[in-house]
């Protein structure tokens, strides 16, 4: 049994902790805040309740697997998880388009697209997602289910999306997502594809076409909501950790990873205290730890994440009932920008049936930096929004920084293949023996599902050693 120190109580770190405890290790999580879950927060006021972080989970299999591997009770008995249906509504006011796409129905999505975007739109969309499936099949294991192998950075740097080739044109470089959207979808429909990476703050003009795997994943595996709010998922993972005898120390900010005899030997806390450990799992952006305290190989960390943006979120308390026809998630597209409007049909989010809780979020940028700009766009999704508004709260990137510690409130996107490996994250192993990276800042990147995967990868590497080849 080894003593393992885990830095941070985010979702990736807790998923790792639970798996390591099951393997018989003595695990202690050091969390600088007063609670678990990191970005997965909840704000409550006057009977209204809002998710302040993620509002939906894609790839629920990641957490199903975590619960199967760490105890007797499966995920579904610990949280009430529902697939969102319809999956999403897209509003493109500048094109006069308002379309609702059903969940888990390829044919239904195609039919809705045909009627909103014109003849052939559904077929073109399905063809793009078909090619995205090929990219997914080609990279799913090395990109998501296996530790980042030596050399993978180079091989995954090639874009796996089989873009349609234009006859007569020499292909000097693979097309970007924006180019694929333009060529293979065209017109307003293209905005549905580019919007997926915009939601992560990635510029479609520089994003690899392989980012088409993101809508493929959404459409194939669905979008899932946890009744009572997404925080319930964090609570379930925390409780699973406690069941497995993981110890949590709150109010314990880690300042440094201790090194002895050339390997990680514990953590130093902000109060000067030291905790010895045989192995350390860093569940935060490792660049938060003082430079020089970690002997990184030169290519292990990308440049500081100033390019990774935060989010601005409005929590809206509305008078009046949520209409039965309201869609859980609406994306309002405007030229070069967009907002996401969440209207969960969940009594736990409102004081009574005469009120509604709505969350509006965006990557801050031109057209989405000010709350009034967000409200203007959200009004396209929620009729009579301003007249119904009782009060609102604004959550800025500074609030996210307070919850996660990530400088600037940055929210790391999932890792993507292509773009020369620019959108991959550092490997879960480091140059310092005994130090591992988990959470959204490590391979395979951010988002609830991807960060959850770091738990399987890091625990596998620690338990089985460097020969661990990924989860089955």
Ligand X SMILES: Cc1cc2nc3c(=O)[nH]c(=O)nc-3n(C[C@H](O)[C@H](O)[C@H](O)COP(=O)(O)OP(=O)(O)OC[C@H]3O[C@@H](n4cnc5c(N)ncnc54)[C@H](O)[C@@H]3O)c2cc1C
User: Is 88 a binder of ligand X (CB under 6 A)?
Assistant: no
Map the footprint of ligand X across residues 294-333, applying CB under 6 A. Answer: 311, 313
In the list 129, 411, 435, 459, the residue contacting ligand X (rule: CB under 6 A) is: 411
Q: Determine which residue in the list 86, 405, 418, 426 makes contact with ligand X, applying CB under 6 A.
A: 405
Give, as ranges, the residues between 6 and 65 that touch ligand X (CB under 6 A): 7-13, 30-33, 38-40, 53-56
| CA-CA-CA-CA torsion sign (197, 457, 143, 217) | negative
CB of 248 to ligand X, least distance (A): 11
Q: How far is the CB of 187 from ligand X (least distance, A)?
A: 27
Q: How many chain residues touch ligand X (CB under 6 A)?
A: 38
Binding mask 66-85 for ligand X (x = CB under 6 A): --------------------
The mark string for 195-234 relative to ligand X (x by CB under 6 A, - otherwise) is ----------------------------------------
Cis peptide before 86 (omega within 30 of 0): yes
Angle formed by the axes of helices 213-221 and 189-198, nearest 10°: 90
For residue 331, the minimal CB distance to ligand X (Å) is 12
Residue 286 is a binding residue for ligand X (CB under 6 A): no
Query: Please, which residue, 182 or 345, has the CB nearer to ligand X?
Result: 345
Least spacing, CB of residue 66 vs ligand X, in Å: 13
- Residues from 424 through 463 that contact ligand X (CB under 6 A): 439-440, 446-449, 451
Question: Residue 253, interface with ligand X (CB under 6 A)?
Answer: yes
CA distance 464 to 360: 43
Q: Which residues bind ligand X (CB under 6 A)?
A: 7-13, 30-33, 38-40, 53-56, 253-254, 283-284, 288, 311, 313, 361, 400, 404-406, 411, 439-440, 446-449, 451
């Amino acid at each position: 049994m080894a003593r393992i120190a885990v830095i941070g109580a985010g979702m990736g770190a807790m998923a790792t902790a639970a798996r390591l405890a099951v393997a018989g290790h003595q695990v202690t999580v050091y969390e600088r805040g007063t609670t678990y879950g990191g970005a997965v927060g909840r704000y409550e006021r006057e009977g209204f309740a809002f998710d302040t972080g993620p509002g939906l989970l894609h790839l629920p299999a990641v957490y199903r697997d975590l619960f199967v591997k760490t105890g007797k009770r499966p995920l579904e008995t610990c949280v009430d998880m529902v697939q969102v249906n319809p999956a999403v509504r897209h509003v493109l006011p500048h094109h006069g388009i308002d379309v609702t796409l059903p969940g888990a129905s390829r044919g239904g999505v195609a039919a809705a697209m045909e009627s909103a975007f014109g003849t052939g739109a559904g077929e073109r969309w399905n063809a793009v997602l078909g090619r995205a499936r090929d990219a997914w099949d080609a990279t799913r294991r090395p990109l998501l289910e296996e530790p980042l192998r030596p050399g993978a950075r180079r091989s995954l740097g090639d874009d796996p999306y089989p873009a349609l080739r234009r006859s007569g044109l020499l292909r000097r470089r693979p097309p970007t997502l924006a180019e694929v959207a333009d060529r293979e979808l065209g017109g307003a429909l293209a905005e549905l594809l580019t919007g997926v990476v915009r939601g992560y703050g990635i510029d479609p003009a520089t994003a690899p076409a392989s980012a088409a795997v993101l809508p493929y994943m959404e459409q194939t595996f669905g979008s899932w909501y946890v009744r009572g709010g997404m925080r319930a998922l964090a609570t379930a993972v925390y409780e699973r950790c406690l069941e497995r005898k993981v110890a949590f120390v709150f109010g314990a900010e880690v300042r440094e990873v201790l090194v002895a005899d050339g390997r990680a030997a514990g953590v130093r806390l902000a109060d000067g205290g030291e905790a010895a450990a045989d192995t350390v799992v860093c569940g935060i952006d490792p660049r938060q730890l003082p430079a020089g305290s970690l002997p990184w190989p030169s290519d292990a960390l990308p440049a500081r994440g100033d390019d990774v943006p935060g989010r601005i979120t409005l929590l809206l308390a509305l008078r009046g009932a949520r209409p039965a026809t309201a869609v859980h998630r609406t994306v309002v597209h405007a030229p070069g920008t967009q907002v996401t409007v969440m209207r969960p049909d969940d009594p736990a989010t409102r004081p009574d049936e005469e009120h509604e809780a709505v969350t509006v979020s965006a990557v801050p940028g031109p057209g989405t930096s000010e709350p009034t700009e967000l409200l203007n766009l959200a009004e396209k999704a929620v009729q009579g929004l301003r007249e119904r508004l009782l009060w609102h709260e604004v959550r800025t990137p500074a609030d996210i920084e307070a919850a996660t510690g990530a400088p600037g409130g940055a929210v790391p996107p999932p890792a993507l293949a292509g773009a020369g490996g620019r959108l991959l994250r550092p490997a879960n192993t480091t140059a310092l023996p005994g130090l591992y990276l988990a959470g959204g800042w490590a391979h395979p990147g951010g988002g609830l599902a991807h960060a959850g995967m770091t738990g399987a990868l890091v625990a596998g590497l620690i338990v089985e050693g460097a020969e661990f080849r990924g989860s089955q």
